[in-house]
Protein backbone atom coordinates (compact mmCIF):
# COMPACT_ATOMS: atom_id res chain seq x y z
CA UNK A 1 0.00 0.00 0.00
CA UNK A 2 1.22 3.52 -0.66
CA UNK A 3 0.26 6.53 1.39
CA UNK A 4 -0.56 10.02 0.22
CA UNK A 5 2.98 11.34 -0.18
CA UNK A 6 1.72 14.91 -0.23
CA UNK A 7 1.41 14.68 3.55
CA UNK A 8 5.21 14.69 3.69
CA UNK A 9 5.06 18.23 2.36
CA UNK A 10 2.96 19.53 5.25
CA UNK A 11 4.84 21.62 7.74
CA UNK A 12 4.43 20.71 11.40
CA UNK A 13 1.43 22.59 12.76
CA UNK A 14 3.82 24.65 14.74
CA UNK A 15 1.98 27.87 15.49
CA UNK A 16 -0.52 27.05 18.24
CA UNK A 17 1.61 24.24 19.67
CA UNK A 18 4.55 26.60 20.04
CA UNK A 19 2.34 29.30 21.57
CA UNK A 20 0.97 26.83 24.14
CA UNK A 21 4.49 25.64 24.93
CA UNK A 22 5.83 29.14 25.53
CA UNK A 23 2.82 30.16 27.64
CA UNK A 24 3.03 27.01 29.77
CA UNK A 25 6.76 27.52 30.35
CA UNK A 26 6.17 31.13 31.37
CA UNK A 27 3.34 30.23 33.72
CA UNK A 28 5.36 27.43 35.31
CA UNK A 29 8.13 29.93 36.07
CA UNK A 30 5.67 32.69 37.10
CA UNK A 31 2.70 30.94 38.71
CA UNK A 32 1.16 34.22 39.97
CA UNK A 33 1.23 35.98 36.60
CA UNK A 34 -2.22 37.01 35.38
CA UNK A 35 -1.80 36.03 31.74
CA UNK A 36 -4.55 37.28 29.41
CA UNK A 37 -5.16 35.45 26.15
CA UNK A 38 -5.90 37.70 23.23
CA UNK A 39 -4.72 35.06 20.79
CA UNK A 40 -7.81 32.92 20.67
CA UNK A 41 -9.65 32.57 17.38
CA UNK A 42 -12.54 30.83 19.11
CA UNK A 43 -15.62 32.61 20.39
CA UNK A 44 -16.26 32.70 24.13
CA UNK A 45 -19.83 33.97 24.58
CA UNK A 46 -22.58 31.35 25.06
CA UNK A 47 -25.23 30.42 22.51
CA UNK A 48 -28.12 32.86 22.58
CA UNK A 49 -31.65 32.18 23.96
CA UNK A 50 -33.28 31.75 20.51
CA UNK A 51 -30.74 29.06 19.67
CA UNK A 52 -31.08 27.30 23.02
CA UNK A 53 -34.89 27.28 22.69
CA UNK A 54 -34.63 25.72 19.25
CA UNK A 55 -32.17 23.10 20.51
CA UNK A 56 -34.48 22.18 23.40
CA UNK A 57 -37.52 22.01 21.17
CA UNK A 58 -35.80 19.90 18.51
CA UNK A 59 -34.34 17.55 21.16
CA UNK A 60 -37.80 17.03 22.65
CA UNK A 61 -39.20 16.28 19.17
CA UNK A 62 -36.51 13.66 18.64
CA UNK A 63 -37.83 11.83 21.71
CA UNK A 64 -41.31 11.38 20.25
CA UNK A 65 -42.42 8.84 17.64
CA UNK A 66 -43.78 11.57 15.37
CA UNK A 67 -40.96 14.03 15.83
CA UNK A 68 -38.06 11.61 15.51
CA UNK A 69 -35.80 12.20 12.47
CA UNK A 70 -33.21 9.78 11.16
CA UNK A 71 -30.99 10.39 8.17
CA UNK A 72 -31.54 13.79 6.70
CA UNK A 73 -33.67 13.38 3.55
CA UNK A 74 -31.18 15.57 1.73
CA UNK A 75 -27.44 15.92 2.41
CA UNK A 76 -27.78 19.59 1.40
CA UNK A 77 -30.04 20.36 4.35
CA UNK A 78 -33.71 20.66 5.21
CA UNK A 79 -35.60 23.00 2.88
CA UNK A 80 -36.60 25.32 5.73
CA UNK A 81 -32.96 26.00 6.62
CA UNK A 82 -31.91 26.46 3.00
CA UNK A 83 -34.76 28.91 2.61
CA UNK A 84 -33.87 30.74 5.82
CA UNK A 85 -30.29 31.19 4.53
CA UNK A 86 -31.57 32.43 1.15
CA UNK A 87 -33.84 34.92 3.03
CA UNK A 88 -30.88 36.11 5.06
CA UNK A 89 -29.07 36.99 1.81
CA UNK A 90 -32.22 38.64 0.47
CA UNK A 91 -32.16 40.99 3.47
CA UNK A 92 -28.92 42.48 2.13
CA UNK A 93 -30.27 42.57 -1.40
CA UNK A 94 -28.55 39.42 -2.67
CA UNK A 95 -30.82 37.07 -4.59
CA UNK A 96 -29.99 33.43 -3.97
CA UNK A 97 -32.48 30.65 -4.44
CA UNK A 98 -32.75 28.05 -1.71
CA UNK A 99 -31.65 25.31 -4.13
CA UNK A 100 -28.28 27.06 -4.47
CA UNK A 101 -27.63 26.74 -0.72
CA UNK A 102 -26.04 23.51 0.51
CA UNK A 103 -25.82 23.19 4.28
CA UNK A 104 -22.69 21.72 5.84
CA UNK A 105 -20.92 21.27 9.17
CA UNK A 106 -19.02 24.56 8.94
CA UNK A 107 -16.76 26.35 6.51
CA UNK A 108 -13.48 24.61 7.25
CA UNK A 109 -14.33 21.16 5.90
CA UNK A 110 -15.73 22.28 2.58
CA UNK A 111 -13.19 25.03 1.89
CA UNK A 112 -10.90 22.03 1.52
CA UNK A 113 -13.30 19.27 0.44
CA UNK A 114 -14.36 21.32 -2.55
CA UNK A 115 -11.22 20.19 -4.35
CA UNK A 116 -12.79 16.72 -4.58
CA UNK A 117 -14.74 17.95 -7.60
CA UNK A 118 -11.84 19.79 -9.23
CA UNK A 119 -8.94 18.19 -11.06
CA UNK A 120 -5.33 19.18 -10.44
CA UNK A 121 -5.61 22.93 -10.22
CA UNK A 122 -3.24 25.83 -9.70
CA UNK A 123 -4.38 27.66 -6.60
CA UNK A 124 -3.86 31.28 -5.62
CA UNK A 125 -3.71 32.02 -1.90
CA UNK A 126 -3.41 35.48 -0.37
CA UNK A 127 -0.57 35.73 2.12
CA UNK A 128 -1.10 36.20 5.06
CA UNK A 129 -4.28 34.17 5.49
CA UNK A 130 -6.10 31.41 7.38
CA UNK A 131 -3.58 28.53 7.16
CA UNK A 132 -6.09 25.78 6.27
CA UNK A 133 -6.23 26.87 2.60
CA UNK A 134 -2.57 26.07 2.13
CA UNK A 135 -2.53 22.80 4.02
CA UNK A 136 -5.58 21.37 2.29
CA UNK A 137 -4.04 22.06 -1.11
CA UNK A 138 -0.74 20.54 -0.05
CA UNK A 139 -2.71 17.38 0.79
CA UNK A 140 -4.24 17.41 -2.69
CA UNK A 141 -0.82 18.02 -4.25
CA UNK A 142 -2.02 21.18 -5.97
CA UNK A 143 0.56 23.78 -6.98
CA UNK A 144 0.10 26.81 -4.72
CA UNK A 145 0.86 30.39 -5.73
CA UNK A 146 0.75 33.37 -3.42
CA UNK A 147 -0.28 36.97 -3.75
CA UNK A 148 1.19 39.30 -1.16
CA UNK A 149 -0.86 41.28 1.30
CA UNK A 150 1.29 43.93 2.93
CA UNK A 151 1.30 47.38 4.41
CA UNK A 152 1.52 48.97 0.96
CA UNK A 153 -1.73 47.41 -0.25
CA UNK A 154 -3.46 47.52 3.14
CA UNK A 155 -3.29 43.71 3.27
CA UNK A 156 -5.71 43.60 0.35
CA UNK A 157 -3.79 41.97 -2.49
CA UNK A 158 -5.15 42.72 -5.96
CA UNK A 159 -4.91 40.92 -9.31
CA UNK A 160 -2.13 43.33 -10.31
CA UNK A 161 0.03 41.54 -7.71
CA UNK A 162 -0.43 38.15 -9.39
CA UNK A 163 2.33 36.84 -11.64
CA UNK A 164 1.81 35.63 -15.20
CA UNK A 165 0.91 32.00 -14.39
CA UNK A 166 -2.66 31.18 -15.33
CA UNK A 167 -4.43 30.16 -12.13
CA UNK A 168 -7.52 28.02 -11.72
CA UNK A 169 -8.73 28.70 -8.20
CA UNK A 170 -8.51 31.90 -6.17
CA UNK A 171 -9.18 32.03 -2.46
CA UNK A 172 -10.52 35.29 -1.11
CA UNK A 173 -11.09 35.80 2.59
CA UNK A 174 -12.91 39.05 3.38
CA UNK A 175 -12.93 40.16 6.16
CA UNK A 176 -9.54 38.56 6.32
CA UNK A 177 -8.19 36.37 9.06
CA UNK A 178 -5.68 37.45 10.40
CA UNK A 179 -5.48 41.03 9.09
CA UNK A 180 -9.11 42.11 9.48
CA UNK A 181 -8.85 43.87 6.11
CA UNK A 182 -12.03 43.97 3.99
CA UNK A 183 -12.32 44.39 0.23
CA UNK A 184 -14.50 47.18 -1.14
CA UNK A 185 -17.03 46.41 -3.89
CA UNK A 186 -14.71 47.94 -6.49
CA UNK A 187 -11.80 45.78 -5.35
CA UNK A 188 -13.89 42.61 -5.37
CA UNK A 189 -15.14 43.56 -8.83
CA UNK A 190 -11.51 43.54 -10.01
CA UNK A 191 -11.12 40.00 -8.72
CA UNK A 192 -14.37 38.92 -10.35
CA UNK A 193 -13.25 40.40 -13.68
CA UNK A 194 -9.89 38.71 -13.32
CA UNK A 195 -11.55 35.35 -12.62
CA UNK A 196 -13.91 35.73 -15.58
CA UNK A 197 -11.07 36.73 -17.91
CA UNK A 198 -8.96 33.78 -16.81
CA UNK A 199 -11.72 31.17 -16.50
CA UNK A 200 -10.78 30.83 -12.81
CA UNK A 201 -12.99 29.96 -9.86
CA UNK A 202 -13.17 32.15 -6.74
CA UNK A 203 -13.67 30.43 -3.39
CA UNK A 204 -14.99 33.26 -1.26
CA UNK A 205 -14.70 32.75 2.50
CA UNK A 206 -17.29 34.94 4.23
CA UNK A 207 -16.74 33.52 7.73
CA UNK A 208 -16.57 37.02 9.26
CA UNK A 209 -19.14 38.79 7.06
CA UNK A 210 -21.39 39.66 10.00
CA UNK A 211 -18.56 41.63 11.60
CA UNK A 212 -18.67 44.19 8.80
CA UNK A 213 -19.96 47.44 10.28
CA UNK A 214 -19.49 49.81 7.33
CA UNK A 215 -22.60 49.49 5.14
CA UNK A 216 -20.74 50.23 1.91
CA UNK A 217 -18.54 47.13 2.27
CA UNK A 218 -19.72 43.90 0.64
CA UNK A 219 -20.66 40.97 2.88
CA UNK A 220 -21.06 38.60 -0.04
CA UNK A 221 -19.21 38.09 -3.31
CA UNK A 222 -22.65 37.88 -4.92
CA UNK A 223 -23.08 41.61 -4.41
CA UNK A 224 -20.69 41.91 -7.34
CA UNK A 225 -21.88 41.69 -10.96
CA UNK A 226 -20.56 38.62 -12.71
CA UNK A 227 -19.75 36.72 -9.51
CA UNK A 228 -22.50 34.19 -10.17
CA UNK A 229 -20.46 32.99 -13.15
CA UNK A 230 -17.16 32.53 -11.30
CA UNK A 231 -17.62 32.22 -7.53
CA UNK A 232 -18.66 29.92 -4.74
CA UNK A 233 -19.28 31.36 -1.27
CA UNK A 234 -18.69 29.68 2.08
CA UNK A 235 -20.67 30.96 5.06
CA UNK A 236 -20.76 29.76 8.64
CA UNK A 237 -22.71 30.17 11.87
CA UNK A 238 -19.44 29.73 13.82
CA UNK A 239 -18.39 33.30 14.37
CA UNK A 240 -21.74 34.98 13.68
CA UNK A 241 -23.65 32.98 16.29
CA UNK A 242 -21.14 31.13 18.45
CA UNK A 243 -21.46 27.81 16.59
CA UNK A 244 -17.75 26.90 16.65
CA UNK A 245 -18.60 23.83 18.73
CA UNK A 246 -22.13 23.37 17.39
CA UNK A 247 -21.05 23.11 13.73
CA UNK A 248 -23.16 24.41 10.90
CA UNK A 249 -22.40 26.40 7.77
CA UNK A 250 -23.29 26.58 4.10
CA UNK A 251 -21.98 26.77 0.57
CA UNK A 252 -23.65 28.83 -2.14
CA UNK A 253 -23.07 27.57 -5.67
CA UNK A 254 -25.01 29.57 -8.26
CA UNK A 255 -27.08 27.49 -10.68
CA UNK A 256 -25.32 28.96 -13.71
CA UNK A 257 -21.79 28.27 -12.43
CA UNK A 258 -20.14 25.81 -14.78
CA UNK A 259 -16.70 24.84 -15.98
CA UNK A 260 -16.06 22.65 -19.01
CA UNK A 261 -19.80 22.24 -19.48
CA UNK A 262 -20.35 20.80 -15.98
CA UNK A 263 -22.53 22.50 -13.37
CA UNK A 264 -20.50 22.81 -10.17
CA UNK A 265 -23.59 22.88 -7.94
CA UNK A 266 -24.73 19.51 -9.27
CA UNK A 267 -21.26 18.01 -8.97
CA UNK A 268 -20.90 19.24 -5.42
CA UNK A 269 -24.34 17.89 -4.53
CA UNK A 270 -23.31 14.51 -5.94
CA UNK A 271 -20.08 14.60 -3.95
CA UNK A 272 -21.90 15.46 -0.76
CA UNK A 273 -24.53 12.78 -1.21
CA UNK A 274 -21.73 10.18 -1.41
CA UNK A 275 -19.49 11.49 1.38
CA UNK A 276 -21.76 13.41 3.76
CA UNK A 277 -25.00 12.46 5.51
CA UNK A 278 -26.04 15.95 6.44
CA UNK A 279 -25.99 18.12 9.55
CA UNK A 280 -28.01 16.78 12.54
CA UNK A 281 -31.68 17.83 12.56
CA UNK A 282 -31.29 19.45 15.99
CA UNK A 283 -28.40 21.60 14.79
CA UNK A 284 -30.20 22.61 11.62
CA UNK A 285 -33.13 23.78 13.77
CA UNK A 286 -30.69 25.80 15.88
CA UNK A 287 -29.21 27.32 12.72
CA UNK A 288 -32.71 28.15 11.45
CA UNK A 289 -33.31 29.96 14.75
CA UNK A 290 -30.19 32.11 14.15
CA UNK A 291 -31.71 33.27 10.88
CA UNK A 292 -35.05 34.27 12.51
CA UNK A 293 -35.59 37.96 13.31
CA UNK A 294 -35.02 37.32 17.02
CA UNK A 295 -32.04 35.03 16.35
CA UNK A 296 -30.33 37.60 14.14
CA UNK A 297 -30.96 40.30 16.72
CA UNK A 298 -29.27 38.17 19.37
CA UNK A 299 -26.41 37.18 17.06
CA UNK A 300 -25.78 40.84 16.32
CA UNK A 301 -25.73 41.60 20.04
CA UNK A 302 -23.03 38.94 20.43
CA UNK A 303 -21.06 40.53 17.64
CA UNK A 304 -21.53 43.96 19.23
CA UNK A 305 -19.98 42.54 22.40
CA UNK A 306 -16.88 41.44 20.49
CA UNK A 307 -16.83 44.65 18.50
CA UNK A 308 -16.58 46.60 21.75
CA UNK A 309 -13.49 44.54 22.62
CA UNK A 310 -12.01 45.34 19.22
CA UNK A 311 -12.62 49.02 19.92
CA UNK A 312 -10.96 48.71 23.33
CA UNK A 313 -7.88 47.21 21.69
CA UNK A 314 -7.68 49.65 18.79
CA UNK A 315 -8.16 52.66 21.10
CA UNK A 316 -5.21 51.44 23.17
CA UNK A 317 -3.10 50.99 20.04
CA UNK A 318 -4.06 54.50 18.90
CA UNK A 319 -2.92 55.86 22.26
CA UNK A 320 0.31 53.91 22.12
CA UNK A 321 0.94 55.06 18.54
CA UNK A 322 1.02 51.50 17.23
CA UNK A 323 -0.05 50.98 13.63
CA UNK A 324 -2.71 48.38 12.85
CA UNK A 325 -5.34 47.19 10.41
CA UNK A 326 -8.67 45.49 11.20
CA UNK A 327 -10.79 45.74 14.31
CA UNK A 328 -13.51 47.82 12.72
CA UNK A 329 -15.12 45.22 10.47
CA UNK A 330 -13.53 42.17 11.99
CA UNK A 331 -12.81 40.51 15.33
CA UNK A 332 -9.09 40.64 14.47
CA UNK A 333 -6.67 43.47 15.09
CA UNK A 334 -3.44 43.18 13.13
CA UNK A 335 -0.73 45.34 14.55
CA UNK A 336 2.67 46.26 13.27
CA UNK A 337 5.19 45.02 15.78
CA UNK A 338 8.20 46.18 13.80
CA UNK A 339 10.35 43.23 14.83
CA UNK A 340 10.26 39.46 14.36
CA UNK A 341 6.76 38.48 15.43
CA UNK A 342 7.96 35.71 17.75
CA UNK A 343 10.19 38.22 19.55
CA UNK A 344 7.16 40.44 20.02
CA UNK A 345 5.19 37.43 21.25
CA UNK A 346 7.83 36.85 23.95
CA UNK A 347 7.91 40.54 24.83
CA UNK A 348 4.10 40.74 25.24
CA UNK A 349 4.01 37.52 27.23
CA UNK A 350 6.80 38.34 29.63
CA UNK A 351 6.47 42.12 29.95
CA UNK A 352 2.69 42.59 29.61
CA UNK A 353 1.37 39.11 30.33
CA UNK A 354 -0.64 39.16 27.11
CA UNK A 355 -0.81 36.27 24.66
CA UNK A 356 -1.36 37.02 20.98
CA UNK A 357 -0.52 35.29 17.71
CA UNK A 358 2.68 35.97 15.76
CA UNK A 359 1.95 37.09 12.22
CA UNK A 360 4.63 34.79 10.82
CA UNK A 361 2.25 31.90 11.51
CA UNK A 362 -0.08 33.14 8.74
CA UNK A 363 2.43 33.40 5.92
CA UNK A 364 5.73 35.05 5.09
CA UNK A 365 4.07 38.44 4.70
CA UNK A 366 2.82 38.20 8.27
CA UNK A 367 6.34 38.63 9.62
CA UNK A 368 6.69 41.90 11.55
CA UNK A 369 2.97 41.84 12.35
CA UNK A 370 0.91 40.40 15.16
CA UNK A 371 -2.74 39.34 15.66
CA UNK A 372 -4.88 40.19 18.67
CA UNK A 373 -8.47 39.02 18.83
CA UNK A 374 -11.66 40.50 20.21
CA UNK A 375 -13.03 37.17 21.43
CA UNK A 376 -12.10 37.64 25.10
CA UNK A 377 -14.26 39.00 27.92
CA UNK A 378 -14.71 42.76 28.33
CA UNK A 379 -12.90 42.67 31.66
CA UNK A 380 -9.82 40.90 30.36
CA UNK A 381 -9.70 42.95 27.18
CA UNK A 382 -9.83 46.21 29.12
CA UNK A 383 -7.06 44.98 31.41
CA UNK A 384 -4.94 43.90 28.46
CA UNK A 385 -5.51 47.24 26.72
CA UNK A 386 -4.33 49.11 29.82
CA UNK A 387 -1.19 47.01 29.85
CA UNK A 388 -0.59 47.69 26.15
CA UNK A 389 -0.42 51.44 26.74
CA UNK A 390 1.41 51.35 30.07
CA UNK A 391 5.16 51.90 29.94
* Residues near ligand PLP (CB under 6 A): 41, 106-108, 130, 173, 177, 205, 207, 236, 238, 244, 249
- Provide, rounded to whole angstroms, the least separation between the CB of residue 19 and ligand PLP: 15
Q: Which is nearer to ligand PLP, 16 or 259 (CB)?
A: 16
Q: What contacts 366, CB < 8 A, 6 or more positions away?
A: 127, 128, 178, 341, 358, 359, 360
Q: Which is nearer to ligand PLP, 138 or 196 (CB)?
A: 138
Query: If you ran DSSP here, which 8-state letter would residue 12 be given?
Result: P
Q: Which is nearer to ligand PLP, 113 or 150 (CB)?
A: 113
CA neighbor of 50 nearest in space, from 255, 247, 298, 338: 298
- Provide, rounded to whole angstroms, the least separation between the CB of residue 108 and ligand PLP: 3
Q: Catalogue the E-assigned strands of the chain.
A: 36-37, 101-104, 123-127, 144-148, 169-173, 201-205, 231-236, 249-252, 258-259, 262-263, 324-326, 332-336, 354-355, 357-358, 369-373
Q: Which is nearer to ligand PLP, 58 or 172 (CB)?
A: 172
Q: Which is nearer to ligand PLP, 332 or 388 (CB)?
A: 332
Contact (Cβ atoms closer than 8 angstroms) between residue 111 and residue 234: yes
Contact (Cβ atoms closer than 8 angstroms) between residue 349 and residue 26: yes
Q: Which is nearer to ligand PLP, 107 or 202 (CB)?
A: 107
Q: Which is nearer to ligand PLP, 106 or 128 (CB)?
A: 106
- Residue 276's CB is within 10 A of a number of other CB atoms, namely 18
Q: Which is nearer to ligand PLP, 96 or 173 (CB)?
A: 173
- Provide, rounded to whole angstroms, the least separation between the CB of residue 366 and ligand PLP: 14
The whole-angstrom separation of Cα 186 and Cα 194 is 12
- Provide, rounded to whole angstroms, the least separation between the CB of residue 151 and ligand PLP: 21
The whole-angstrom separation of Cα 246 and Cα 34 is 30
Name the pairing type of β-strands 332-336 and 369-373.
antiparallel
Q: What contacts 162, CB < 8 A, 6 or more positions away?
A: 124, 145, 147, 194
- Provide, rounded to whole angstroms, the least separation between the CB of residue 234 and ligand PLP: 7
- Provide, rounded to whole angstroms, the least separation between the CB of residue 21 and ligand PLP: 21
The whole-angstrom separation of Cα 237 and Cα 241 is 5
- Provide, rounded to whole angstroms, the least separation between the CB of residue 65 and ligand PLP: 34
Tell me how far the alpha carbon of residue 308 is from its chain's centroid: 20
- Provide, rounded to whole angstroms, the least separation between the CB of residue 196 and ligand PLP: 24
Amino acid sequence: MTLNKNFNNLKQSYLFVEIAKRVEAYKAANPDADVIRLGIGDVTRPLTPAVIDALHKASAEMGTPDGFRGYSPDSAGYPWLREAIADYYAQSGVKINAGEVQVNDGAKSDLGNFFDILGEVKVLVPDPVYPAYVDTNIMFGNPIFYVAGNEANGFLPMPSGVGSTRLDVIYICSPNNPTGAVYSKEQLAEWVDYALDNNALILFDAAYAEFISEPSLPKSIFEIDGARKCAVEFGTFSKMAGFTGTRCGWVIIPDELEYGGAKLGKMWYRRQSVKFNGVPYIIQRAAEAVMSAQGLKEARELIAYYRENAKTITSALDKAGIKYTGGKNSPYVWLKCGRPSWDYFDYLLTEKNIVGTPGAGFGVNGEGWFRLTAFGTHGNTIKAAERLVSQ
